[in-house]
Amino acid sequence: MAHKNKRPKPIDSKIIESLKNEIPLGEYCMYSASSQIPAGVPWGGSDFQCVVVAASSYTGSEIPELPSDMAPHGNVYLWRGFRTIPSGARPRKVDDCLYFQSSDGRAWRLHSKDSSDHHWFIMSGSGLSSLIQDHNLPSASRGSIVNYRSEGANLNFEKPFE
């Protein structure tokens, strides 16, 4: 039986550089419009209403069934895109991706839907797993990962993004 996890996808290393320049290690940034997001940082699509990016470093061990040349080395960036479903009706959805470099400097992206096991393993090994709860937004546009949860505000399905 084939394993359900897909491998990370290679990306342009300029995306990692943009993330490094914008989000300090141990912090997060929230963007509520595509016009606010810095060049090189992914936005998503027209149905995205908010993007949160958090930076940490991977200190975990080997990841089962993931080749070592695709494993994170150093900084890991959690990208969370909050969007409506294509029809524009509620409920809203959250897309989670991880961006990182491997030990050889190659840049990778791993979407949670492609590989939930690998995604969770990396989240746990980088200390970012505490940020994953459906529809959890921070109350500040920037801050430390430690304060993300304590200052957070649950997304109300009945109100627009603020």
pTM over 0.75: yes
The count of other CB atoms within 10 Å of the CB of residue 44 is 17
What ranges do the domains of the chain cover?
A: 9-154
> Bigger pLDDT: 54 or 94?
54
78-98 pLDDT per residue, tens: 999 988 766 656 557 888 999
DSSP structure string for 20-86: HHHS-TTEEEEESSTTTSPTTS----TTEEEEEEEEEEE---PPTTS-GGGS--EEEEEEEEEEE-T
* End-to-end C-alpha distance for the chain, whole angstroms: 46
In the DSSP assignment, the letter for residue 133 is S
**pLDDT for the residue numbered 145:** 86
Q: Are 103 and 70 in contact (CB under 8 A)?
A: no
d(CA 14, CA 20): 10
> Bigger pLDDT: 136 or 153?
136
> Bigger pLDDT: 130 or 75?
75
